[in-house]
Structure 1
Amino acid sequence: MGSSRTRNLQVFDTELSADTVEWCPLPHYAHIVACGTYQLQKDDEKNPSRIGRLYLFQFDQQQSFTPPLTEIQRIDTPAILDLKWCHTEIYDRPLLGMATACGEIQLHGLRDTQDGRCALECVLSTELGPNRLALSLDWSTGRGDSSDPRVVTSDSTGSLTVLSLAEDNLSAVSQWKAHDFEAWISAFSYWDTQLVYSGGDDCKLKGWDLRMGPSSPTFTSKRHSMGVCSIHSNPHREHILATGSYDENVLLWDGRNMRQPLSETAVGGGVWRLKWHPVHEHLLLAACMHNDFHILHCQQAADGNEGPCPILASYILHNSLAYGADWSRLPLSGPPPSSPPTETTPASLTEPKGHLRIQYESPTASFDTSLEDECGRYIPDHTAAVSAPAPVPGVGDNSASLSCLLASCSFYDHMLHVWRWDWSPETETQSAETGPTPSS
């Protein structure tokens, strides 16, 4: 039988509410991870302030008697809504993009220090406009092309802005109104970076062609029934797009036909962030707000076979809203630690019991909807356990097993977790009711 096991390696208290975490994608700096925080200060009820802090850590798995994660820098900032590393070096160093609650996009350069560590320093910034929060950003460099690096960002006015780094300057190329309410998410197609996707609190998923101008979208989908808050283009497989929503579903799309998704997977919580694995094209990480973090296997759906994506593992050790999550490119050496495995079966995806009232909140606290019907029943109530086709195929050529390093963060308990996932693909048919079981 196959085995799937998640194990916590370390927990870090970020003090302020944590909502975004990103491993550096560049090989030489793969041990570096950044975490952003967001805190609403209600000292002044009429004009509450939003503060944040940017943390920088390094991970060293060779330290036998000390925790592997070490804080190497903290910077007080405006509240941070999103962080994304550029996938390639710019100006001969890694760049970290930051979307802030003061409507500013900041780029921080990573430099080596004399003590052999690293540090971030702000090198470029630009304001998107007055009275808005920058909610998300994405780089055009997802497939390693650094010839024309651009950033797309979305904000609380429903607008999108495309920024260029030409001539050592961060400047707006275009800005337009894209959604009626908050534009929670924006993302490039990594295969054609003239294409941009966006999702908003108006429940709409839209596509935009920058060559045609922003006067009208190339498509508008209302397939999600609530606000669209996560989008990620697959960097390994052309046309494949993943989206998530407050409606608790992950949809997989073929970008050539946005009328109907390839698959729909109920994950039991609002899907705040989605991340494709940096190497294995079929693995998708989902941060599911009220229902933890899940790893989906998307090969059969991407190949055109109907049905939800099986959930290979769930990380359930956070005690608050699951917001930030990312894969590390750092290879793990040695066997897993001997700590007991956490629950990895899809059992946590069964219909909620005892949840009479749940408030869905975004980090901006501007989305606050009660989810219960007239009888007091929790809605949406379509989160029954996902039936997983079995056996699940392997993740790549000659891949008998896989070990991954991940980081995740949760909001109100202000916690950053670093954990590992070890998986051996199933070798024989396994019932959907049984699900993947931890190895002994």
Structure 2
Amino acid sequence: MAWKSKTRSLQVFDTELSADTVEWCPIPQCYNILACGTYQLQKGPDAGSEEAASRIGRLYLFQFRQQGPMFPPLNELQRIDTPAILDLKWCHVPVSDRPLLGMATASGEIQLHRLTDSQDCSCVLKTVNSLELGPDRLALSLDWSTGRADSSDVRVVSSDSAGCVSVLSLGEGSLTAVSQWRAHDFEAWISAFSYWDTQLVYSGGDDCKLKGWDLRMGPSSPTFTSKRHSMGVCSIHSSPHRERILATGSYDEQVLLWDERNMRQPLSESALGGGVWRLKWHPTNEHLLLAACMHNDFHILHCQQALEGSGSACSVLGSYILHNSLAYGADWSRFPLDETTPPPETSEPTRGPAQGHTGGHLRIQYESPTASFDTSLEDDAGHYIPESSSPPPSSPASDPPCPNPMEDSPSMSCLMASCSFYDHMLHVWRWDWTRPEEGCVGKAREGEERGAIGE
């Protein structure tokens, strides 16, 4: 029995500067808090001079509130002008009883911002610490060691444009460099902890290599070097649910799933039709993986069969295609959606969508500074399908495998955020995944059979 998957836009926000990273807060009292980072290259009077260029950014803080269909749910709380931001990550556990946001910047710094209460009973971010990774480099990524909500040893791993990986320790609210080494020949696009053994670190670079490092052995040589990706490795995420499971993505448009015990051969390979810039495991469901695919939108993957050793590609459960530029940042929220309140069917950003219904399908004419397109949001199965293109590559089967009810709930509704680069847009949307009622399916089939007999 096929499941029904539907994605629906809730609100679009113009970030003015190019948007490349979004993160929902993972701390229970703040599940509805969203941070978004931007990156803009500003050229000086001499357009041909590299020295005249500067990289500026802005950090946005939002609160999501369900106020009914007549009100936009996203409320801007704060904006902070910063150096260009290349990555954002909330620490998975409170630090000094408050949520803590880490930020990788074009000035080569890792900055820490604490979420604090404001005078208007809301909340704001305040800078508490920063550490420069080195001169003449951009901090490209960061990850916290707290992916399994372990607060015993809070550390940060970061990668930079000089090909280096740095491990930082957090003590008394301040960052201290523990170690730094040259890991890749070119830009080290991504670094990440193994959440099950935080002495293990992974890195990926523009030299097309995926590497593992054991901090107990020192960084003199990697524990492994994989050339399985054919282009630059730009996304790595350790599963917080299943020990030794790792997901990686690359400019080669492939998502690979790995068992850390065998890094010679991946468990599965899934072609997504666009460079995979970010991967995020679902906060609670071990089988779901979110992919930001640069030139091919955002996709939700179901990885159950691949994780069970079938060797098959992950199925695409749902896609969000309403961005009109490079798909860079994406994240799941843990915030519970109110099923009794229908989502708003219109949103009013500075440059936003005008919506209407045609032939039973929601259609959007989306206008942006770069281009416009007209797309049919949903097909009969609830998937977004562009009129002018084919669906993203997936496994040979058109429908995802039916999940085991003991492992997956009969339905799921998720709040999502994604952002795109050149059109500087932040989208907040929901994804609903439901199993059709067996009685309804049976009646429909019975009706079809009677109709055929009548003919």
Same fold judged by TM-score > 0.5?
A: yes
Runs of 4+ that moved beyond 6 A: 348-353
Structure 2 residue 34 is matched with structure 1 residue 33: yes
What corresponds to 2:107 in structure 1? 102
Pairing 1:337–2:347 present: no
Equivalence for 2:358: none
Most deviating of 52-61 and 387-396 = 387-396
Q: Distance in 1 between matches of 2:388 and 2:279?
A: 21
Q: 5+ residue gaps in structure 2?
A: 346-360, 363-376, 439-455
The residue aligned with 1:328 is: 333
Q: Percent identity?
A: 73
1:181 corresponding residue in structure 2:
186
Equivalenced residue count is: 399
1:46 equivalent among 50, 56, 69: 50
Distance 1:14 1:390 in 2: 35
Q: Aligned match of 2:237 in 232, 235, 240?
A: 232
Instruction: Report what 1:77 is aligned to.
Output: 82
* Partner residue in 2 for 1:18: 19
Q: Deviations over 1:43-86 (max 9, x none)?
A: 24332100000000000013442100010000000000000000
Q: Which whole-Å deviations, capped at 9, do the CAs of 1:239-276 have from their partners, x for residues lacking one?
A: 11000000001000001100000000000000000000
Deviations for 1:67-120, whole angstroms, at most 9, x for unmatched residues?
A: 000100000000000000000000110000000001000000000112111100
Q: Is the 8 A contact 1:324 1:409 kept in 2?
A: yes
**Cα distance per residue 1:375-400 (max 9 Å; x no partner):** xxxxxxxx745423653315764611
2:107 partner letter:
C
Q: 1:180 to 1:150 in 2, by over 3 A?
A: same
How far apart in 2 are the matches of 1:283 and 1:205? 23
Match of 2:315 in 1: 310
Partner letter of residue 415 of structure 2? L
TM-superposed deviation, 1:351: 8.2
- 2:424 pairs with 1:414: yes
Matched, 1:282 2:287: yes
* Aligned with residue 396 of structure 2, among 384, 387, 400: 387
Q: Secondary structure at the match of 2:306?
A: helix
Aligned to 1:166: 171
TM-score scaled to structure 1, two decimals?
0.87
Residue 451 (structure 2) aligns with: none
Please state how far the C-alpha of 1:293 moved relative to its aligned partner. Answer: 0.0
Tell me the TM-score normalized by structure 2: 0.84
Q: Which amino acid aligns with 1:4?
A: S
Is 1:150 paired with 2:155? yes
User: Taking structure 1 as reference, are residues 26 and 136 closer, same or farther at Cα in structure 2, changes over 3 Å only?
Assistant: same
Q: Distance in 2 between matches of 1:224 and 1:350?
A: 29
* Change in 2 beyond 3 A, CA 1:390/1:91: closer
1:23 deviates by 0.2
CA, structure 1 residues 348+387, in 2 after alignment: closer, same or farther (shift >3 Å)? farther
CA distances 1:121-174 after superposition (whole Å, capped 9, x unpaired)? 100100000000000000000000111100000000000000001243201000
CA distance in 1, matches of 2:386, 2:252: 17
Q: CA RMSD in A?
A: 2.0
Give CA deviations for 1:288-325 in whole Å, capped at 9, x if unaligned: 00000000001111111111000000000000000000
Q: CA deviation at 1:352?
A: 7.5
For residue 320 of structure 2, what is the amino acid of its counterpart?
Answer: Y
Q: What are the residue-to-residue correspondences of 1:234-253 with 2, within 5 Å?
A: 234-253=239-258
Shift of 1:349: 12
Provide the secondary structure at the position in 1 that maps to 2:148. Answer: coil
Q: Indicate which of 208, 216, 225 corresponds to 1:211.
A: 216
**1:325·1:408 contact (CA, 8 Å) conserved in 2?**
yes
Give the 3-state SS of the residue equivalent to 2:317 in structure 1. strand
Q: Secondary structure at the match of 2:23?
A: strand
- Please give the alpha-carbon distance, in whole angstroms, between the structure 2 residues aligned to 1:161 and 1:293: 29
For 1:114-129, list aligned pairs within 5 A.
Answer: 114-129=119-134
One-letter amino acid of the structure 1 residue matched with residue 218 of structure 2: G
One-letter amino acid matched to 1:331: P
Q: CA deviation at 1:10?
A: 0.1
What is aligned with 1:266?
271
Cα distance in structure 1, aligned partners of 2:405 and 2:100: 30
Q: Are the aligned partners of 2:6 and 2:383 in contact in 1 as well (CA < 8 Å)?
A: no
SS in structure 1 at match of 2:426: strand
SS at match of 2:305: helix
| 2: CA distance, partners of 1:407 / 1:299 | 24
Question: 2:70 touches 2:344 (CA, 8 Å); kept in 1?
Answer: no
Matches within 5 A, 1:184-203: 184-203=189-208
CA contact (8 A) 2:332 2:414 kept: yes
Q: Structure 1 residue 423 and structure 2 residue 423: aligned?
A: no
- Cα deviation for residue 346 of structure 1 reads 8.0
1:405 paired with 2:410, answer no
- Name the SS of the counterpart of 2:178 in structure 1: strand
Distance in 2 (CA, whole Å) between partners of 1:230 and 1:19 is 14
